[in-house]
Amino acid sequence: MAGIRLILVTPHLRANVTSVSRFISIAKQAIGKGHEVVILNFIYPFKIQRGLGVVEDKDIKFSDEIEQCILALKPELNILQKIIFFLNDTFKVPFWKVANLIYQMLFKADVFKITDAKLLSSLQKRISLDTKNIIVGFGGPFSVLENAFAIHQAIEGSLLVLDYRDLINFGYPPLQSNLFIHTLKKKYTKRREVYLLQNADLITTVSVTLKGLLPGQYHSKIKVFENGASFDSAKVRPQRATHFTVLYLGTLYKEQLIDETFFEALSSFCADKFDTVRILFIGAGRNERFNSLLDKHYLNDISIITGRLEKDELISYLNNASVFLHLKYGDRNEIITSKNADYCLFRKPILLPDSDKGDLEDFLLKYDLGYICYSKAEIRDTLSLLYREYMEGKDYGGRSAYSMTRESIAEKFVAELEQLS
């Protein structure tokens, strides 16, 4: 098969987040199959990355094969973009969100959209047309898809792929977002997003539910590629910890702390077991709401909370957990979080203590991966059952598990790109 050239447009590059793991695994798979990969890294003039949700770490390094693919580009910005980035280093988060909204109202795109015609022209000259060029925009921010489309237009004969881990205008509002601001953004960007969907050669997303939320006329060109586990199965070596350990992995959003049923049930369950039970929130970090919730239910003494950790640091926590924890995302039932694949790989029971009545529940039921509860009493009873199994030394090593690695997902993704014409 003739080689292809993948030009990857991403919202973040050197950041410890699952979106980076997704496109890096795809890049590695493409390189391994002999295809050329170009990873575009747009450099913006801001010192403080507040308000962006992700902070890039310049110390993060990739393998040589990936580093050689990275093309750093510094776009020329318009005057309003320059002002917003300058003020971002002066004011705190609220200003950034308001400024970005104003920019979207004026330009129907966020402040990261590339408006530099010279940069696009120079990129066009760098890319030869003797190979099939496929532009893949990994959203994120709407500007990622906009920038991918602009590059697609600049490179004659190229194909455009839009990859959605979360939807922008057609799904639920982003977690921890302001509903009013989200509604205004939709007003100014939805028509533009429809135009991008019309012009895409392939649209990919991480779940059948998200596919269903996109307009039906585009379903024939939408493919589903789930989130894969971030870990090598060779690192899965289940251990019995010295405490019965309930583990939650990753970011904890304010929507997950609205319903306190799980924390009430856990407090009741732990009343006579404080010496033998631990609950770990690995990567969640602390905030005022979370602290007060743990205090209210007398759980601080048995809780261990960390900030975001490197992947290798997580392995011992995952191997030593007794049960993995999901917490529903408020009233949203369309979220199939990437931690799901990591939980599955490590073959411990998964507890969904207050059902989302949606994607999480359906996934756990389909693959028989754990326990779903609908009341405080059920949560307490399920924790008691899992505690007894822990005390009896039950081995989950032979547990049938749904396991999908990022490598296997990337293999399917690249195979689909190879079929584009």
Q: Taking Cα atoms as reference points, which of 163, 176, 207, 183 lies closest to residue 340?
A: 207
Query: Averaged in consecutive runs of 10 residues, what is the pLDDT profile of the chain (421 residues)?
Result: 86 81 92 95 76 69 94 92 84 73 84 89 88 91 90 95 89 70 77 93 93 94 91 83 94 90 95 93 86 93 91 92 94 84 89 92 88 96 96 70 77 95 69
Q: Cα 187 from chain centroid?
A: 25
For the domain made up of 233-391, the CATH class stated in words is alpha beta
pLDDT at res. 154 = 93
Q: Which residue has the tokens 């369950």?
A: 269
pLDDT at res. 247 = 97
pLDDT at res. 101 = 81
For the domain made up of 4-228+406-419, the CATH class stated in words is alpha beta
Strands 303-305 and 323-325: unpaired
DSSP state of 51: T
Please tell me the number of Cα atoms within 13 Å of 32 on its side-chain side.
12
Long-range contacts of 198-203 (CB under 8 A, 24+ apart): 199/149, 199/152, 199/160, 200/160, 200/161, 200/162, 201/159, 201/160, 201/161, 201/420, 202/159, 202/160, 202/161, 202/162, 202/416, 202/417, 202/420, 203/161, 203/162, 203/163, 203/164
104: left (phi over 0), alpha (psi -120 to 50) or beta: alpha
Distance in angstroms (rounded) separating the CA atoms of residues 222 and 205: 7
Q: Which residue has the tokens 């296997």?
A: 408
| Domain boundaries for CATH 3.40.50.2000 within the chain | 4-228+406-419, 233-391
Q: Taking Cα atoms as reference points, which of 61, 54, 176, 40 lies closest to residue 119?
A: 40
Tokens of 360: 């999480």
pTM for the structure as a whole: 0.88
* Identity of residue 267: S
Tokens of 255: 């929507």
pLDDT at res. 198 = 96
Q: Taking Cα atoms as reference points, which of 272, 280, 217 lies closest to residue 250?
A: 280
Give bridge partners of residue 136 from the DSSP assignment.
Answer: 8, 161
